[in-house]
Structure 1
């Protein structure tokens, strides 16, 4: 695997830590800025909404740039947002920095996935996507707990400084490892050409499956700490370890999905979403029992993330002539699920059904994702994926890296 792919995964790790670390920083932020916990929680929603808007917007804005230039510029904006956030005198400034940082991170996601796909031969595309996406899973296993511990000893602002410093290191690595410039023989794609490549119904069905699949994972994960302490009865000190267990399952799922996604994309999605629906339903039923819950948390991570490489790579095979915008829009689809699913979980809790009810919401979303996969298989004419070997990139795409030549 080219070094550039590992560097892109590092970029996702450093920025992805910021995406999820606020769940452990909210009490400190609320106390320091004199706002309520729910108001501080809106910072999480602000980031997710920024991701939804920013992914396609930044993909279009940077379409004519060399990929390394786009990656470095977006990371620089992200670093600046976290420096300002660490120095924020009040809540409005911090809120604004979360939106700006999310816009930059969303753009980085889209360009990073497109760069990784272009850097490897067809047989390795799914593994490259899995490796890049693995940076986010590693963030949940290492980055988020580390940020929480750092904030407990040095305050929430220290976590922001740490993310800014780590992303700066990633930026320097990007400058070194990702090829710069553009091959003169390959003219830059236009926005119109990318939009034409997006006009495929099967592609938009894939985006819907992405939203359902990630929503089914994140709705349970968002309230998992509360479920563990309020329903299962675990002490708060055990929560980080259980969250890390979820991340271990997620990493295993990414590795497995990276091996099966290329030749069996729909089957991987079907089995993964089916397993996610079953595991979520079982979690809702046995939420009071510690040992089954621990096993199911591991399985939730496994089933939830085994679909990720197929969700990420399949859109490139469905629309090979829109290599930048197609990945960015998929990032937006992930964050539609990330935004709406926790809201549905909150509604279930507010309705008096308790924290275990969010697992039922996850099971329902996973079932809807399964229905989407069945529909995709019908449109495709079966479960064998004719798009398993992506067509060669057309001459109008961006510069081919040396590894792809």
Structure 2
């Protein structure tokens, strides 16, 4: 008999939708913020950079601190801080007050995200971990074409402060819902700091984090400069770019869900190799399309959709693999370390892609991205021989 998903899982989706929207939504109201606070646009842009850096560094650091607390308590408390931080951003009288609010929101989001993914993985019934992680991941993906555009529109219609009030409201709804429905998943038993830092010495975990870092660097390099790629292939227009971004969002959402199902059916390691290998192939197709001279928007849309399915399908299998390598006692710390790899890769993607364009032109961006994705595929571990597909994610001791 088919089991229905629990009512707390959509709340995890909503939680991750709010935290992901908070990171990227400011891009859509950047000029408005700069004008209102009387700073330059590049200075306003640092509100995005600081959020990403604090998030990346805060996730593994704070996970070590909060690993031993019940996950529902961590999520609800973290969301309350997240709500207060966004309210403070909405009320900020100046640039530095807004920057401080962004730092606090990033720290809270880092804790909440790690605890949410841990809850999705450990609260899933046997054989459904990948599906649960896929639903949670879909919340981050959906932010690209629901939360971010909605927040941008709201900021344009009612001022940039309204955007932060919206995020605070969504965070409050998620906190109340999780307080009432989230499963009781306890924290790890008290242990010395050396044991809680075991994922930092676990070569299997570090290898998977490197896979994530390289995949994020390659895939998000292509996404960051998608506008330039679209213009180069098909002449480009604002309407065409909007359509391509919508295509990325829909295909990415589908990819997150399908990757979760694949992780359950094939095992996380086999599905991870499938996703990373497919991602490398998709980027190679994007590079080939650019050099072929084919400027048909339909063909370009098909290639971009194919790429987005694999690009946003990474999280469920890589997180399932990391859970298996780290074991349940260090799960939150290990997943937070993976989030750190993801966000550091995001930062590298923009910088490296800009350097590639400056040296060789937009045509070499998908080539460089393909190279990074190929390295990621070569590092992706194979499934354990002799085990059925679903057994490759069985928890191992934290120091395995």
TM-score, with length taken from structure 2: 0.88
Q: How far did 1:231 drift?
A: 5.9
Q: Does 1:278 align with 2:281?
A: yes
Task: Determine the structure 1 residue equivalent to 2:326.
Answer: 319
3-state SS in 2 of match to 1:377: coil
Greater shift, 265-274 or 240-249, is seen at 265-274
Native 8 Å contact 1:52 1:335 kept in 2: yes
Task: Determine the structure 1 residue equivalent to 2:211.
Answer: 209
Q: Deviations over 1:211-243 (max 9, x none)?
A: 111222211212223443576433224433321
Q: Does 1:157 align with 2:157?
A: no
Rounded to whole Å, the distance in 1 between the matches of 2:66 and 2:26 is: 28
Rounded to whole Å, the distance in 1 between the matches of 2:30 and 2:228 is: 14
How do 1:197-346 and structure 2 match up within 5 A? Answer: 199-229=201-231, 232-262=234-264, 263-287=266-290, 289=295, 290-320=297-327, 321-346=329-354
Q: Deviations over 1:163-202 (max 9, x none)?
A: 111111111111111145959xx84566443323553211
Q: How many equivalent residue pairs?
A: 388
TM-score, with length taken from structure 1: 0.87
Q: Deviations over 1:41-78 (max 9, x none)?
A: 22222111111111112212223322221111111111
Q: How far did 1:272 drift?
A: 2.2
Rounded to whole Å, the distance in 2 between the matches of 1:347 and 1:389 is: 38
Which sections of structure 1, spanning at least 5 residues, go unmatched?
A: 395-405
3-state SS in 2 of match to 1:306: coil
3-state SS in 1 of match to 2:367: helix
Q: Does 1:360 align with 2:367?
A: yes
Greater shift, 200-209 or 41-50, is seen at 41-50
Task: Determine the structure 1 residue equivalent to 2:144.
Answer: 140
Residues 181 and 347 (structure 1), Cα distance of their counterparts in 2 relative to 1, 3 Å cut: closer
Residues 192 and 122 (structure 1), Cα distance of their counterparts in 2 relative to 1, 3 Å cut: farther
Rounded to whole Å, the distance in 1 between the matches of 2:204 and 2:183 is: 33
Rounded to whole Å, the distance in 1 between the matches of 2:34 and 2:55 is: 23
Q: How far did 1:283 drift?
A: 2.5
Q: Deviations over 1:237-293 (max 9, x none)?
A: 443332121011111211221122243433323332232223223324434722222
Which sections of structure 2, spanning at least 5 residues, go unmatched?
A: none
Rounded to whole Å, the distance in 2 between the matches of 1:107 and 1:280 is: 32
Rounded to whole Å, the distance in 2 between the matches of 1:27 and 1:359 is: 29
Q: Deviations over 1:84-108 (max 9, x none)?
A: 2122223222222222211111111
